[in-house]
Amino acid sequence: MKLIRYGSPGAERPGMIDAQGRLRDLSAQIADIAGAALSPASLAALAVIDPATLPLIEGTPRLGPCVGQVGKFLCIGLNYSDHAAETGATVPPEPVLFTKATSAIIGPHDTVRIPRGSTKTDWEVELGVVIGSTAKYVDEAEAQACIAGYCLINDVSEREYQLERHGTWDKGKGCDTFGPLGPWLVTKDEVDDPCNLRMWLEVNGHRYQDGSSGTMVYKPAFLVSYLSQFMSLHPGDVISTGTPPGVGMGQKPPVFLKAGDVMRLGIDGLGEQRQEVVAD
């Protein structure tokens, strides 16, 4: 299934995409694409619904973040061997963990705002993992069962704040609008191999990132298992798993976002995003 949230910010309603690509309303079945609605039992109940029996959503409403009420937005750094190489780093012996503030989350086509004083705002196309069952001290086999599905994420990053302002990466990762999610949450039964997906990102029509999740070092099930050793993961938590090469700071010379730029990005089977960039 491809599950969506649509409507104005803060008032999104749940829906799904039918076989013809049309939006269908799920408000009579679940309150939101969030929390307990992402459990295996809930997703199984949704899967047997004939989309043709659901109300058709007319027009082209705004798509919100594909997961609501996100409790934790966890991210993995330097998790693609070719991206680590372009930054002059080596893949660490254990995953690098940082967090994005949940207040950074926006819809897939919402506006990205460059923070005041920023000169190094960057892009990163990433594969997101959405948790469907609580994971605590799970092994990899158990971890796979805890995944509800996958989504497209743009891990927008301010490199000066991240790397030059001392301390953790979080201050350059959690700025408002730095976490577009969606357009869809694709349940894991529709993703044959999350480690073999083409990923790309363009700025103003120029393709900077054109890679594959095949160069991901620490795979989704391993990451869920690994993170569950340090904290419980709950339904609706999101893990952003890293990016392939082609980020702005890896260009020679570096290229960073400015007001007026337009980003487009996508992952095979998980849809596309488009964001206009403005100054905050």
Beta strand ranges found along 115-231 (DSSP E): 121-122, 125-131, 147-154, 157-158, 179-180, 185-187, 198-203, 206-212
Express each pLDDT in 153-197 by its tens digit: 999 999 999 999 998 899 999 999 999 999 999 999 999 999 999
Domain ranges of the chain: 68-279
As a whole number of angstroms, the distance between CA 270 and CA 153 comes to: 10
**What's the distance, CA 48 to chain centroid?**
26
Residue 106, number of CB atoms within 10 A of its CB = 23
Express each pLDDT in 110-165 by its tens digit: 999 999 999 999 999 999 999 999 999 999 999 999 999 999 999 999 999 999 99
**Fold assignment, 68-279:** Fumarylacetoacetate hydrolase; domain 2 (3.90.850)
Taking Cα atoms as reference points, which of 257, 271, 21 lies closest to residue 149? 271
pLDDT score for 226: 98
